[in-house]
Amino acid sequence: MTALGSTTRRDWQPVLTYSLIAVNVIAFAFSAKASGSIEHNMYSTEVAKLALSEPATANGWWWTAVTSGFLHFGPIHLLVNMFTLYVFGRNIEQALGRARFGAIYALSLLGGSAAVLWFGLENTVTVGASGAIFGLIGAELVLFLRMKMDPTSLLVLIGVNVVASFTLSGISWLGHAGGFVAGAAVTAGIVYAPELLPRDKRTRKQVEVVGWSCAGVIAAVLVAAIAIRFGTYPGAQVYTLG
């Protein structure tokens, strides 16, 4: 699959995808060491302060909207997400280039956190890269449609994950949905919005400006949504995690 900003050099490697996997693995190692357990790696006050939760939000710990996306409940959770990140990450990174891929991943992560913060925070602790990964799945779906490729297999995969999100316990369907919508929206802005330009002005520079402008608007909306939620959450500065 090739698209805007793609590269087909034989020596090309998905460096950013590998880097993100490495960061997630390092974060898991940190959580396991801090908790003294691989299986119960989240059972530590030090680690809990990095997870997205009601107490963390009430305390105004805004960084949890980001750090929660690099933590995982146990090795199976980590392995499943990292395999999926490898599969979809390298596709998107090659198709759109590292900078756009990085933006899609980051904004998908924030999209998942924003959805949880606003609609599913009560009595939950949410961690995992799946919000960002679902954003990559949304991005790939947009690219399939843009390039007029058959999306059937991808739609089946999405359907299976939707069913799993609602039927299996411990899965944050809001995080998945928020990430998916954010990733699809950013990608649509990158590949579709430039088509609104007159053909005689559709230079590479203008195409990039329009695409990045769309990403910037979405970023501003997500950051504002997260900031407002942290600033107005009931009982702010009341809860503590020790």
CA 181 from chain center: how many Å? 10
Longest dimension (CA), the chain: 62
Residue 176 annotated to the active site = yes
CA 200 from chain centre, in angstroms, equals 35
Q: Which of 130, 165, 172, 213 is catalytic?
A: 130
Q: Considering 53, 72, 172, 176, which one is annotated as catalytic? A: 176
Q: Bridge-partner residues for 52, per DSSP?
A: 126
Distance CA 64, CA 52 (A): 5
DSSP result, 123-136: T-EE--SHHHHHHH
Residue 77 annotated among the catalytic residues of the structure: no
Residues sharing a CB contact under 8 Å with residue 57, sequence separation 6 or more, in sequence order: 64, 117, 121, 229, 230, 233
Active-site residue set:
130, 176
